[in-house]
Amino acid sequence: MLLRRLLLGLPVSLLKSMSLPIDAIISPGWARSLKRFAGGTTVHYWLNTKEQKLGNGIKADPISAAEAEFIRETFKRVDALTGLSLVEKQRRGPSEIDFYKVPRYKSRSLIGQTTRRKSWFEITWKDRNGKDMNGSEKSTIVHEIGHALGLDHPYQRPWSPRYTTKDTIMSYNETSNTNFTKTDLTALQSLWGAA
């Protein structure tokens, strides 16, 4: 309680410069699920390229070439720095992470979601820029990938004014950052080992 009172009295600029410990963004449950789905550290992912309806009744649009390349590059960076081996599947079939772009959600405030299914994660994000991508879409996709790989919001408080996407991509307070931060990558290495 005393620490909380002391922190509340500090200037916002100083609070934002405080480091975020990796355990504040690690979700062991998400990581255990992915390891169970994959049977180890080789994780298969699949990118939807056709218009279709998802199980929740939401329509999915095909992922564009630019969006697919962004997801692949994000996984290449994670693959190179962690003990994970992330492998793209070319055909629909058993995979641990499936990606879908949706034109809208039932909830207007939702822009991305990672859903834990029986034996895989389903990542969806709201298309806000057609076949091109804006920064918000990129950070949303990386944020949702973070969930599937075992990351959570800082202290389970995504809107905390203490943190932005400069601290962790898992914050809802956006900046121009569209990639995993050093803290995020260190957290992923603590979950999955270093390459």
With a threshold of 0.85, does the pTM exceed it? Answer: yes
Q: Residue 166 half-sphere exposure, CB side, CA atoms within 13 Å?
A: 9
Strands (E) located in 42-96: 42-47, 52-53, 59-60, 85-89
For residue 92, the model assigns a pLDDT of: 85
The tokens describing 174, both together, are: 């956006």
- Token pair, residue 28, equals 């062991």
Residue range 2-24: mean pLDDT, rounded: 54
User: Domain spanning 20-192: which CATH class is it, in words?
Assistant: alpha beta
Report, as an integer, the average pLDDT of 158-185.
94
**What is the pLDDT averaged over residues 89-110?**
92
Grouping H, G, I as helix, E, B as strand and the rest as coil, residue 102 is strand
Q: Mean pLDDT check: name the lowest of 53-57, 149-153, 180-184, 185-189.
A: 53-57
pLDDT (tens digit per residue) in 75-97? 999 999 999 999 999 988 899 99
Secondary structure element (H or E) that encloses residue 130, with its range: none
Looking at residue 69, its pLDDT comes to 97
- Average model confidence (pLDDT) across the chain: 89
Query: In this predicted structure, what is the pLDDT of residue 19?
Result: 78
